Amino acid sequence: MVVIDRWLETARNKGVLDGLMAKNSPLQIPCFGQLLYPKSVQRANKTVYVLARFDETDMLGIFCRGPRLFEGFQGIKKDIGNVSVLFCPLVHENAKTLRKALPFAAPARLAGHGTSFGTGDRLGIATPGHIHGLKNYRVWPVLAQQSVREIELTSRSFEEALDSVTWAVFREGFTRPWGADGDHLKTEEWVKKVLALGYSMITADVSEYIKEEYARAGSSEICASFERLPREVRRVLESNYFEKRIEISQDVIIHFSSEELVRAALIYWDAPQQAARLYRAGVEVCGEDEFDFELSIDETAIPTTPLAHAFIAMELQRRRIRPFSFAPRFIGSFQKAVDYIGDADKFVSSLKVHAAIAKHFGYRISVHSGSDKFRIYPAIGEITEGRFHLKTSGTSWLEALKVIGEVDPFLFQSIYEHAKENAPQALRFYRIKIQPDALPESNIINKKGVSELFESPDVRKLLHISYGEILKHPELRTKIYAVLKRNIEEYWKRLEVHIGSHLECLGLRKNTGEPDD
């Protein structure tokens, strides 16, 4: 209470209070930036909303003239003359109400728009840096992007992930549409929960419904397995697909030859059915066509063939599901935190076909584990003609660790040693290859600095996947947040540059207004 009274007294004496209630912009008022974030000032329904700055924390300030109910907001009310003020802590209920009061603070569907780009924030403090990096490009951002795996390993919640973005968007005055993605959801319960919270997008992960063993089966086993399929399934395959040719584009024709089709059906038949269940769960919450639906099969060992892609697309179409995006399992290797591993020319040839299929069926290609894949970014941007969605997450976590390594090498050394010791636990959650013998000793930090350590692919991969093991260590978690809080501007600056380098390499143009549809 004393802190709030002092804030109000300063605001009144310096003319900030009168400036806020005036129709003109008060950005030039002395002391303005010391009391609140200038970009956060928003006016709606004769009410002014700001993010107020205090010594230890920030608060939402709501100002209006005359008697007024601050319905839905929780806080401390003050009256200064004919101005009523409500100071609200940055908690879930207030974020939820703010999303109703200021629609730009809530996620929106991005279907029908151009290139989209996801930025996961495992710490809940990176979004201002993401906004700085994205706002100058013709791209539609998905600023709240977290998977169940990330939520559980970081001991956070989907509510926290969404709320942290809402407050950041408000702080930065970012009024362009942005999305929120419940990533890699595998159950109907999670789909309903995430969409009920206000997320605008779900990524349905049906990888567990893909029967990879049939990719290695011989012809006789394939034929025998087909005969064991239910009669109705065989009827659908025979009537809809057997020996049919689908002209995808002038250069791409899919021929459903008998053996290839049967193999693809045995591998993938259950996946579209599970996708339909997850989609219908979303419809129960939001209604038809009221959320962006991505289908993901990228977390499998077998690359998605063009025939398999077309088969899945047609099965979705048969079930009247039109996805926003589709994430195939590309050829080569998309290891975490490192560049694309594999034959880039073969990837380009494969991507051309996948992009053509996606365009034919009316959705965009989604690239998972998409950060730091600079070798293939130009091809992704050019071949898809900008019709792609690319997901990043761990790269922002690595940038945070780089900052820590430079300002507090001793803390970083503890983080690195803890990650090495607990690598087996972290590897349980990710399909990733790390060579333990290639991991340097932590004393290299004292000799050559942290930058050289981050040049090691194995170190990058290890730190990328070890966030859960690191953050569940109470002392490390506390120190990480403390160091980043003291160096938050540097962290955001690095994210701005790093995200910008991704967008530049993808061929995205600088934005002078709204991004292209």
- Residue with structure tokens 């600079």? 374
Contact 332, 347 (CB under 8 A): yes
The catalytically annotated residue of 150, 294, 298, 469 is 294
Q: Please report how the helices 127-134 and 158-172 are oriented relative to each other, as an axis angle in degrees rounded to 10.
A: 50
Handedness of CA 138, 144, 148, 152 (dihedral sign): positive
Catalytic pick among 181, 183, 205, 372: 183
Tell me, rounded to whole angstroms, the distance of Cα 398 from its chain centroid: 15
With contact defined as beta carbons under 8 Å apart, do 170 and 127 qualify?
A: no
The residues facing 247 across adjacent strands are 253
Instruction: For residues 133 and 407, give the distance between their C-alpha atoms in angstroms, rounded to a whole number.
Output: 23
According to DSSP, residue 209 is labeled G
How does DSSP classify residue 80? E
DSSP string, 420-468: HHTHHHHHTT------GGGSPPTTHHHHH-HHHHTT-HHHHHHHHHTHH
Q: What are phi and psi of 203, to 5 degrees?
A: -110, 110
Q: Is 294 a catalytic residue?
A: yes
What lies within 8 Å, CB to CB, of 396 at 6+ separation is: 119, 120, 121, 122, 123, 126, 129, 130, 495, 498
Closest CA to 166 of 55, 51, 33: 51
What is the Cα–Cα distance from 178 to 144, expressed in whole angstroms?
9
Contacts of 337 (CB under 8 A, 6+ apart): 371, 372, 394, 395, 398, 457, 460, 461, 463, 464
Q: How far apart are CA 158 and CA 132, in angstroms?
A: 23
Whether 183 is catalytic is yes
Q: State the catalytic residues.
A: 183, 294
